[in-house]
Amino acid sequence: MPIYAYACSSCGLQKDVMQKLSDVPLTTCPECGKETFTKQLTAAGFQLKGSGYYATDFKNGGQPKPESEPKPACAPCASAASCPMAGGNA
């Protein structure tokens, strides 16, 4: 189940909310009760993993080419270049 990062622009509350894809987005802040609670684009693990994979594969060629990639250092990271466990330069 995806985890969404929410933030309230009124009181500054930041909260990760686990929701089904079919759930309607929250709008009411649980802290101050105003309708300023909005979903953020930068989110927790679920989105980081997805965006990293697609950015690596689709921006360059338009199609995923696993064989032309450098050897992945670990399964969750599609590219060794973006894997925090691989390099030593980061």
Question: How many Cβ atoms from other residues are within 10 Å of residue 8's Cβ?
Answer: 21
Alpha helices for the chain (secondary structure H): 45-61
In the complex, which residues of this chain contact Zn ion (CB under 5 A)? 8, 10-11, 13, 29, 31-32
CB nearer Zn ion, residue 29 or residue 78: 29
Please report how close the Cβ of residue 28 comes to Zn ion at its closest, in angstroms: 9
The phi, psi pair for 8, rounded to 5°, reads -105, 125
Please report how close the Cβ of residue 29 comes to Zn ion at its closest, in angstroms: 3
Please report how close the Cβ of residue 37 comes to Zn ion at its closest, in angstroms: 6
CB nearer Zn ion, residue 13 or residue 73: 13
- Give how far Cα 76 sits from Cα of 24, 51, 54, Å: 29, 12, 13
